[in-house]
Amino acid sequence: MSVLVTGAAGFIGFHTCAALLARGERVIGVDDVNDYYDVSLKEARLAVLKEGGDFTFERLDIAERDHMDTLIGRHPGITHVVHLAAQAGVRYSLINPYAYVRTNVEGHLVVLEACRKLDGLEHFVFASSSSVYGANAKLPFSVEDRVEAPVSLYGSTKRSGELISHSYSRLHGVAQTGLRFFTVYGPWGRPDMAAFIFSRKILAGEPIPVYNNGDMRRDFTYIDDIVAGILACLDRPPPADAGAPPFRLYNLGNNKGERLMDFIALIEKTLGRKAEVELLPMQPGDVKETYADISSSQRDLGFHPAVTIDEGVPRFIEWYREYYGA
């Protein structure tokens, strides 16, 4: 298997590349290593990937058509794609909306357009998000639910990616699967996400911002479970069923909505320090609760998330302390 992984310097991309390399696959990683968050963390992830295995890295912007076409020409034999590059983050989409449309809509199209011309392409897997469920009142969120009410531009652009992909499966017969991830955390995580922000601020003795006065639930999903789901999916391209395009969507979540305050209590316990909590109102673009129905992912992909927050949070903190010497 020769796998093109976009967003390879990112949190999920890094772990996906590492797992593919450990399996003996050839991996071509792509990332523009932008400064949405600490570039040195992205560089450090890449340094680990370059240590071993059949790994090649190309630094480029996926929304640049010429660059993507040249890249595909330079690496013949790609059989699989894991497209993870995105402008992530719900809150930043209020500040810089254009970055989301450029990477998550235009960039998604450019990657698809470059990859559909590959002779040996067997499966194109791409990242979507629980954010597509937006104001969905029904819990747990199911891939059967209508998703026409996003509450953030981030959610709108991830849904746009799904729709663009669906049309490419129908028009060009590209076998594709979209994976809707639910609040992923773990070692080498993203500095703009809860586990990271809370740990950093608690250790620095700063107050932690807690939105909606703490009345939130999240389906926190450990990175190893997500990567296991991505690899299981990659190995199972969807068939073209009678008349329907070879296209599927799945939720990858923990199937367990956890109270945010319990998550914070676990971080406090692991760090051995009490947090100073700053209770704040709900943020625009945010949702009160996320919780994944994973019945189809269990059935079709054998996806069984195994890591509870009681195990996952200490593993994250252990990495954090070691990496930052904190």
Ligand X SMILES: NC(=O)c1ccc[n+]([C@@H]2O[C@H](COP(=O)([O-])OP(=O)(O)OC[C@H]3O[C@@H](n4cnc5c(N)ncnc54)[C@H](O)[C@@H]3O)[C@@H](O)[C@H]2O)c1
- Exactly one of 3, 4, 5, 13 binds ligand X (CB under 6 A); that residue is 13
Smallest separation (angstroms) from ligand X to the CB of 242: 31
- Exactly one of 63, 68, 249, 264 binds ligand X (CB under 6 A); that residue is 63
- With respect to ligand X, which residue has the nearer C-beta, 16 or 169? 16
* Contact status: 297 vs ligand X (CB under 6 A): no
Number of C-beta neighbours around residue 322 at 10 A: 10
- List alpha helices for the chain, DSSP H: 11-22, 39-49, 65-74, 97-100, 108-115, 153-172, 194-204, 223-234, 260-271, 295-301, 309-324
* Contact status: 69 vs ligand X (CB under 6 A): no
Distance between CA atoms of residues 219 and 290, nearest Å: 6
DSSP-derived letter for residue 9 is T
Distance between CA atoms of residues 141 and 296, nearest Å: 12
- Exactly one of 80, 108, 159, 190 binds ligand X (CB under 6 A); that residue is 190
* Contact status: 248 vs ligand X (CB under 6 A): no
Distance between CA atoms of residues 63 and 32, nearest Å: 10
- Exactly one of 160, 183, 251, 254 binds ligand X (CB under 6 A); that residue is 183
Distance between CA atoms of residues 216 and 173, nearest Å: 41
- With respect to ligand X, which residue has the nearer C-beta, 183 or 242? 183
* Contact status: 17 vs ligand X (CB under 6 A): no
Residue 128 corresponds to which tokens in the numbers above? 């979507």
Which of the residues 37, 154, 168, 222 is marked catalytic? 154
* Contact status: 103 vs ligand X (CB under 6 A): yes
- Exactly one of 33, 72, 139, 232 binds ligand X (CB under 6 A); that residue is 33
Paired sense of beta strands 80-83 and 55-59, if any: unpaired
* Contact status: 29 vs ligand X (CB under 6 A): no
- With respect to ligand X, which residue has the nearer C-beta, 84 or 267? 84
Distance between CA atoms of residues 19 and 92, nearest Å: 29
Helical axes 65-74 vs 108-115, angle rounded to 10°: 30
Distance between CA atoms of residues 215 and 82, nearest Å: 35
* Contact status: 10 vs ligand X (CB under 6 A): yes
- With respect to ligand X, which residue has the nearer C-beta, 128 or 270? 128
Active site residue 185: no
Smallest separation (angstroms) from ligand X to the CB of 299: 22
Give the residue nearest to ligand X (CB): 10
- Answer yes or no: are the C-beta atoms of 65 and 73 closer than 8 Å: no
Smallest separation (angstroms) from ligand X to the CB of 241: 27
Residue closest to 182 by CA, chosen among 90, 292, 297, 304? 292
Which positions from 150 through 169 interact with ligand X, judged by CB under 6 A? Answer: none
* Contact status: 294 vs ligand X (CB under 6 A): no
- Exactly one of 20, 21, 27, 62 binds ligand X (CB under 6 A); that residue is 62
DSSP-derived letter for residue 181 is E
- With respect to ligand X, which residue has the nearer C-beta, 35 or 241? 35
Residue 262 corresponds to which tokens in the numbers above? 């319990």
- With respect to ligand X, which residue has the nearer C-beta, 17 or 175? 17
User: Which residues of the shown chain bind ligand X in the complex (CB under 6 A)?
Assistant: 7, 9-13, 31-34, 42, 61-63, 84-88, 103, 107, 127, 129, 181, 183-184, 190
As annotated, the active-site residues are 154
